[in-house]
Structure 1
Amino acid sequence: MRLGHALSRVSYQLHNDYRRIKTLTHRLERLVEQSPLPMLMIMRHGQISFFNKRFEQIFLSLPQSDSNYELTDFIAGKDESTQRLLQTLSNLRVTRTLTVYGLENEQTYQLHVTPWFGEHGQVHGFTVLLNNVNEFASQIGQLQQQNQRLQRQIDEFNTIKSTMGHDLRLPLEVMIDTLEPIDPETLTAAQNDILISLIKSSQSMLTTLNKVLDIEEIAVRKTRLSIEPVDIYRLGQQVSQSFIERIRQQGLELLYFFAPDSPRCIDTDHQRLQQILYDLLDNAVKFTTSGYISLTIETVSNAELLATKNRSLVNLNKDPTLIKNNQINKDNPSHASHDWIRFSIKDSGMGIDIAKQHQLLVQLNKSSKQNTHRNVNYIQKNTTGQGLGLNNVNSFARLLGGFIEIKSTMTEGSSLNLYLPCRRPNYQPIYHHSQHLTHIHLIAVIKQPLRAKHLRDFCAYLSMPATIYTSIDKLDLQQLNEKLAQDEQRLAPILLLDYEYYETLSIASANQAIGNDDRQQALNTLLDNPSLPKILLSMKPERRIPSILLDKYEGFLSKPLDATLLLSELLRLTLPARQKLVQAIEIKEENKQLANEADKAANENVLPLILVVEDSPTNQKITCKILSKLGYRSVVAEDGQQALDMLQQQRQDISLILMDCRMPVMDGLQATQAIRAQGDKIAIVALTANNTKEDRDACIEVGMDEFLAKPINKKELESVLQSFIKS
């Protein structure tokens, strides 16, 4: 009966589940199969695993069920960067919207691709939605053609305006130069009024004409510079911080490094420098689809500067005054080689080929010698079209006494460097040396080689021991463990792990890539070490890191890495370990010093040896110093058990025991009982802070010979020692 009821309930539940599955399947079919937009799913390796009927109608004229299709079999990117992204979808971690076209129908589509992840954060595949925007793209193309026609008309008008304007400006200037020297005293009142009217009218016409020609902005721009001390360290931080959210959204990494030996302040124009850095970073972000973007500030000498002459936007051979006029550190011998400040913006984008680099150099060198509105527009049109927008950057750099350098390799990225004169540098320290840092051993696993290099330079400047890897395997881990064992009594180790390295390794392991198991095991061994403090470094916000992983770390830092925050975390997390090391080192050095003094005295006369049983390092040092001044040697035991072991090993040398009563492991009373139980009659003097009759009686009862109260009185100790030890 009960079994029948149970089976009925199970049957009812199964029927409900079946109806729900059928309903959901029907909804899914209506949503996907009857969707007016092509939809498909792609596995992480790039093969299409599913597509709806709309996709089949548009892209598959003769479908073959046994064919393994890829997305690039049907569509292609509108430009090189989009095509490269389509071919390497496995690296995509964020939703992207791209413009593509069909290979067969040549229609333009807007492609929305979204990765979907497993429970451990690895990419399992992608969902793709295609939206036909061919009509919209055609309208844009027509508008662009119209815009080009209008631009040509504007350029022709500017040419005419420039020619006519300068033809009018020259006689106006001659007229003003002729009228102004006339002496009003030689004229009648009426003539003088006419002269004043002529001068005012011609000056007004010249001002209006200058505004039309933009001559005021070009000619007067230099007088508008505000040269003052600028904190370039803080400025670099502010500019890089303004790009963080945008860079995070694109799945990129941001690096900021200020060379420790660079001046913090130089004389320049804050607003112009800020604009140059912003434009260069904006250009790097715009043309970098994956990888990193970095801003590095460092010093350069004139000798190093000459190596850039073939890649700079000024000809250093034809303009040697840049170097000749920049001998600003001749009175500062400690930083004599700091002639220039280099602001280097690097990226891992598509790069610029040699032909385009040469074209840019020629055009921008030409534009720097010409100030007409027509030429400025020409350069702007031809450079911003390639995405560089170097027109204003190069102009502002020249105004500040510097120049721009281009380094680029196709598919490997670009480096645009701004060089400014190091005028009136202020070497206010940013990273302060600390003796505590020399007791820290930083172990870092950093994915980006450039960040690893910056971190090595930073640690070397602060004299902080560091072992930095861009990848770690079992062999590296074995060598690291050997080094840690050697430095165990000297350095406090701490781990800094790049989350992006951990994430990449986890994804590779999930894909069962060959050779990754070795690195994953090495990393897991480091993370599972309970005695090693750990800091996680990530471009992602802390809330987006899995809590299971965060629980393994004691600290968290965001990219770009702030050096001052890093130092603060290193000092905080290694404080307990460093305190133990310092105490151990001090005791070891003290014992070594006392042992050396005892050995030296033993060459002349063998002094009595006193065993000091005391758990407090401070009391140990005080007692040993008093004994040394009284002419006795001493050895230290931290508890009663150590005292028994040392007494057994050095019984022939030890003449007396100074025994603390309260200690861990084994206290003084228990140790004395054990010594007397062995039949040993050695003199034992109690040392305790509790100077009561009960304490005295307890000490005498277990077999101690004498009782001294803390703090130790030197004369009382000397008297007790002389009474028990025969000379």
Structure 2
Amino acid sequence: LENTEFNLLSMMYDVANILAFKAEEKGLELSCFIDPYIDPFVIGDPLRIRQVLINLTNNSLKFTEKGEVSIRGTLKEDLGNRFSLWFSVRDTGIGIPEEKLDKIFESFSQADTSTTRRFGGTGLRLSISRTLVEMMGGSLSVSSVEGKWSEFKFFIYLEKQASDSVSRKDIDIDLSTKNILIVDDNKTNRDILRQQLLKWKCKVVEAESGKAALAKMREAVDSMSPFNLAIVDLQMPAMDGLDFGRLVKSDDDLKSTILVLLSSVTNKGEIDTSKNIGSSRYLSKPLKQSDLYNCLMAMFYRESKSEKILETVSEPTGIIDGVKILLTEDNLINQKVAVKILEKSHHKVACANNGEEAVKMLEADHYDLVLMDCQMPVMDGYEATKLIRSKPEISAIPIIALTASALKGDREKCIEAGMDDYLTKPLKREELNMMLSKWANKKHKQ
């Protein structure tokens, strides 16, 4: 097991961002929340925690056709220099029959054969997740009501970073003079925003629709305490965020309120429209605490120094020298191109010609990261990744897919197999370096 410093917030939001496309494709709300009173600067095994959360969230997304999937982190017990945390993934999916709950973690066990035919199975994913949690000294359980919801929940112990740790920088601000309105039809999203804003001492009011929000805004004006800012979901029934924004900005009594629109990752084409109606910011869901913080600082204070407060909780951007990489690629020309790029950046590279070789090499030696071609003879990248994820001793290594296709659904297929990210071929130096910056830094600096 790894025992390194990392930021719990960054790790959890990373999980949500990886799977946000899949949630959006199915029309599901995907939310991510960690209790704002939990110190996010911890010591533990971020890659294995992350893998368990990806496994559980992927599973929930697969078996949920409408509604939402929520990832949460809450305090179980504070033990001084360490604490135990609850992590949970809850969905509004098909649920699990009570008589099947005890068997759900068995390898290849399915709740129902008809369900397996309809949705596909969980394979080894849940069994692997339980093994990884137990390796970290915790326990994984499930509760469910058939036809309504399921919740997978586990706890683990994490150490707290020292108060003088170089990676530590607390986000502690006082916005007690600010009145903020949350407008979202999804209660889970409202709860997450409310708890974070209350931590920063904001005065918070919620509305579940545009119509209700307009009424609350007029009441606030009449009571001489207008809202300074409204955080508005773009996609709501009856009145969406854009229509709401137009009404607010056309009303002389309301138009001074700052508007911040929230939307799913694939709706960024509407940014220009949101600006045209007077929106000051456009933020993507699942909303990161750091993005919300920087938005509030920019809207209320516009001080350059405030932007720097969050630099230490953002992902590092510099390439690290000497990353040990396993390149799995059957095409010798592609191998040579990738090796040349990697060695020029001072990384150590070993090559495997197919997935079977890659698995054997990972079992025999330590690597920091795998670049995995998807289409190969003997064993392709998808099967190799599934096999790697089934072996606890090597399961946490970051795996970046290399694919010749950029068609819709390719990313989802890679993530479904257990890969962390993907690049399209032919490889471009800048894109490859950016990917290494993202994932090698996680391995080295978390």
TM-score past 0.5 threshold: yes
User: Aligned partners of 2:184 and 2:234: how far apart in 1?
Assistant: 9
Query: Which amino acid letter does the alignment assign opposite residue 281 of structure 2?
Result: G
For the 8 Å contact 1:533–1:574, the answer to whether it is kept is no
| 1:544 aligned to which of 269, 280, 283 | 269
* 2:92 corresponds to 1:381: no
User: Aligned partners of 2:169 and 2:282: how far apart in 1?
Assistant: 22
1:345 corresponding residue in structure 2: 89
| 1:396 aligned to which of 125, 132, 149 | 132
2:198 corresponding residue in structure 1: 460
Write out per-residue CA displacement over residues 32-55 of structure 1, whole angstroms, 9 at most, x where no aligned residue: xxxxxxxxxxxxxxxxxxxxxxxx
**Residues 539 and 441 from structure 1, CA distance in 2 versus in 1: closer, same or farther, beyond 3 angstroms?**
same
| 1:526 aligned to which of 248, 251, 261 | 248
**Residues 545 and 466 from structure 1, CA distance in 2 versus in 1: closer, same or farther, beyond 3 angstroms?**
same
| 2:172 aligned to which of 429, 433, 445 | 433
**Residues 571 and 271 from structure 1, CA distance in 2 versus in 1: closer, same or farther, beyond 3 angstroms?**
closer
User: Aligned partners of 2:270 and 2:197: how far apart in 1?
Assistant: 27
Structure 1 gap ranges (5+):
1-224, 302-327, 333-337, 365-378, 508-518, 577-727
Given the two structures, how large is their TM-score scaled by the length of structure 1?
A: 0.36
Q: Return the offset for 1:530.
A: 2.3
2:297 corresponding residue in structure 1: 571
User: Aligned partners of 1:521 and 1:243: how far apart in 2?
Assistant: 29
Structure with greater helix share of residues: 1
User: Aligned partners of 1:477 and 1:431: how far apart in 2?
Assistant: 35
* 2:287 corresponds to 1:561: yes
User: Aligned partners of 1:271 and 1:417: how far apart in 2?
Assistant: 18
Q: Return the offset for 1:342.
A: 1.3
Query: Which amino acid letter does the alignment assign opposite residue 255 of structure 2?
Result: P
1:499 corresponding residue in structure 2: 234
**Residues 431 and 260 from structure 1, CA distance in 2 versus in 1: closer, same or farther, beyond 3 angstroms?**
farther
Q: Return the offset for 1:245.
A: 2.2
> Could you say which structure has the larger radius of gyration?
1
User: Aligned partners of 2:246 and 2:30: how far apart in 1?
Assistant: 26
Q: Return the offset for 1:270.
A: 2.9
For the 8 Å contact 2:6–2:41, the answer to whether it is kept is yes
Moved more, 283-292 or 424-433: 424-433
Write out per-residue CA displacement over residues 325-373 of structure 1, whole angstroms, 9 at most, x where no aligned residue: xxx71x46xxxxx84211111222211121222443xxx5xxxxxxxxx
Query: Which amino acid letter does the alignment assign opposite residue 248 of structure 2?
Result: L
Query: Which amino acid letter does the alignment assign opposite residue 467 of structure 1?
Result: V
Query: Which amino acid letter does the alignment assign opposite residue 482 of structure 1?
Result: E
Write out per-residue CA displacement over residues 28-82 of structure 1, whole angstroms, 9 at most, x where no aligned residue: xxxxxxxxxxxxxxxxxxxxxxxxxxxxxxxxxxxxxxxxxxxxxxxxxxxxxxx
**Structure 2 counterpart SS, 1:247:** helix
For the 8 Å contact 1:231–1:266, the answer to whether it is kept is yes
Query: Which amino acid letter does the alignment assign opposite residue 526 of structure 1?
Result: V
Query: Which amino acid letter does the alignment assign opposite residue 12 of structure 2?
Result: G
Write out per-residue CA displacement over residues 1-29 of structure 1, whole angstroms, 9 at most, x where no aligned residue: xxxxxxxxxxxxxxxxxxxxxxxxxxxxx
1:250 corresponding residue in structure 2: 26
User: Aligned partners of 2:290 and 2:221: how far apart in 1?
Assistant: 25
User: Aligned partners of 1:526 and 1:241: how far apart in 2?
Assistant: 31
| 1:420 aligned to which of 133, 147, 156 | 156
Query: Which amino acid letter does the alignment assign opposite residue 43 of structure 2?
Result: D
User: Aligned partners of 2:109 and 2:59: how far apart in 1?
Assistant: 15
Write out per-residue CA displacement over residues 183-205 of structure 1, whole angstroms, 9 at most, x where no aligned residue: xxxxxxxxxxxxxxxxxxxxxxx
For the 8 Å contact 2:211–2:239, the answer to whether it is kept is no
User: Aligned partners of 2:203 and 2:168: how far apart in 1?
Assistant: 20
* 2:98 corresponds to 1:354: yes
Structure with greater strand share of residues: 2
User: Aligned partners of 1:401 and 1:574: how far apart in 2?
Assistant: 44
Q: Return the offset for 1:495.
A: 1.3
Q: Which has the higher contact order (CA 8 A, sep 6+)?
A: 2
Q: Return the offset for 1:290.
A: 2.3
**Structure 1 counterpart SS, 2:93:** coil
Q: Return the offset for 1:429.
A: 6.9
Q: Return the offset for 1:574.
A: 3.9
**Structure 2 counterpart SS, 1:396:** helix
2:75 corresponding residue in structure 1: 299
**Residues 496 and 429 from structure 1, CA distance in 2 versus in 1: closer, same or farther, beyond 3 angstroms?**
farther
User: Aligned partners of 2:216 and 2:13: how far apart in 1?
Assistant: 37
User: Aligned partners of 2:249 and 2:66: how far apart in 1?
Assistant: 28
User: Aligned partners of 2:194 and 2:12: how far apart in 1?
Assistant: 20
For the 8 Å contact 2:24–2:266, the answer to whether it is kept is no
User: Aligned partners of 1:430 and 1:486: how far apart in 2?
Assistant: 38
Q: Return the offset for 1:572.
A: 2.6
1:140-289 aligned within 5 A: 225-289=1-65
1:215 corresponding residue in structure 2: none
Structure 2 gap ranges (5+):
303-446
| 1:447 aligned to which of 185, 189, 206 | 185
Aligned pairs, number: 286
Q: Return the offset for 1:286.
A: 1.4
Q: Return the offset for 1:533.
A: 1.6
Q: Return the offset for 1:426.
A: 5.6
| 1:482 aligned to which of 219, 231, 236 | 219
User: Aligned partners of 1:438 and 1:284: how far apart in 2?
Assistant: 38
For the 8 Å contact 2:84–2:158, the answer to whether it is kept is yes
**Structure 2 counterpart SS, 1:570:** helix
For the 8 Å contact 1:383–1:390, the answer to whether it is kept is no
Query: Which amino acid letter does the alignment assign opposite residue 394 of structure 1?
Result: R
User: Aligned partners of 1:453 and 1:253: how far apart in 2?
Assistant: 14
2:336 corresponding residue in structure 1: none
For the 8 Å contact 1:341–1:421, the answer to whether it is kept is yes
Q: Percent identity?
A: 18
Write out per-residue CA displacement over residues 612-665 of structure 1, whole angstroms, 9 at most, x where no aligned residue: xxxxxxxxxxxxxxxxxxxxxxxxxxxxxxxxxxxxxxxxxxxxxxxxxxxxxx
Query: Which amino acid letter does the alignment assign opposite residue 232 of structure 2?
Result: L
For the 8 Å contact 1:254–1:292, the answer to whether it is kept is yes
Query: Which amino acid letter does the alignment assign opposite residue 567 of structure 1?
Result: Y
Given the two structures, how large is their TM-score scaled by the length of structure 2?
A: 0.57
**Residues 339 and 234 from structure 1, CA distance in 2 versus in 1: closer, same or farther, beyond 3 angstroms?**
same
Query: Which amino acid letter does the alignment assign opposite residue 96 of structure 2?
Result: I
2:383 corresponding residue in structure 1: none
User: Aligned partners of 1:563 and 1:267: how far apart in 2?
Assistant: 20
Write out per-residue CA displacement over residues 257-288 of structure 1, whole angstroms, 9 at most, x where no aligned residue: 22211132333323322221121111112112
**Residues 520 and 227 from structure 1, CA distance in 2 versus in 1: closer, same or farther, beyond 3 angstroms?**
closer
For the 8 Å contact 1:260–1:431, the answer to whether it is kept is no
**Residues 271 and 570 from structure 1, CA distance in 2 versus in 1: closer, same or farther, beyond 3 angstroms?**
closer
User: Aligned partners of 2:143 and 2:224: how far apart in 1?
Assistant: 43
**Structure 1 counterpart SS, 2:129:** helix
